[in-house]
């Protein structure tokens, strides 16, 4: 049982939503509401060529830009959303965060 006010423990490779940068939390809220998104490439298929996420059929994952303060380009931060069992990224519950342009991922736990 957790003590009052204690944060739940997360496994390695996971991150609590509250621990994400504000911009990542805002991006996740946009994903769940269906946009609008700031970048043309937001929502495109993420191919998982790095093989760091669970293997799924092509088209399962979609990527979204997480704004980086002070950076004029898209930067390195992304949220990758899986379609999950509901086949809809807005409700899938499968969200991954990378701050190093796909070199590592942490699953977002809400």
CA atoms within 13 A on the CB side of 78: 23
Mark whether 101 is an active-site residue: yes
Angstrom distance (rounded) from CA 106 to CA 80: 10
Catalytic residue of the set 63, 83, 94, 99: 63
Of 14, 99, 101, 110, catalytic: 101
110 catalytically annotated: no
Catalytic amino acids? 63, 101
């Amino acid at each position: 049982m957790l003590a009052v006010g204690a944060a739940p423990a997360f496994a390695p490779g996971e991150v609590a939503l509250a621990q994400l940068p504000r911009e990542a939390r805002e991006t996740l809220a946009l994903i769940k509401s269906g946009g609008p998104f700031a970048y043309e490439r937001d929502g495109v298929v993420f191919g998982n060529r790095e093989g760091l996420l669970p293997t799924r059929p092509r088209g399962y994952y979609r990527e979204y830009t997480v704004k980086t303060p002070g950076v004029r380009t898209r930067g390195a931060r992304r949220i990758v959303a899986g379609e999950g069992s509901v086949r809809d990224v807005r409700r899938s519950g499968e969200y991954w965060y990378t701050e190093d342009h796909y070199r590592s991922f942490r699953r977002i736990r809400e």
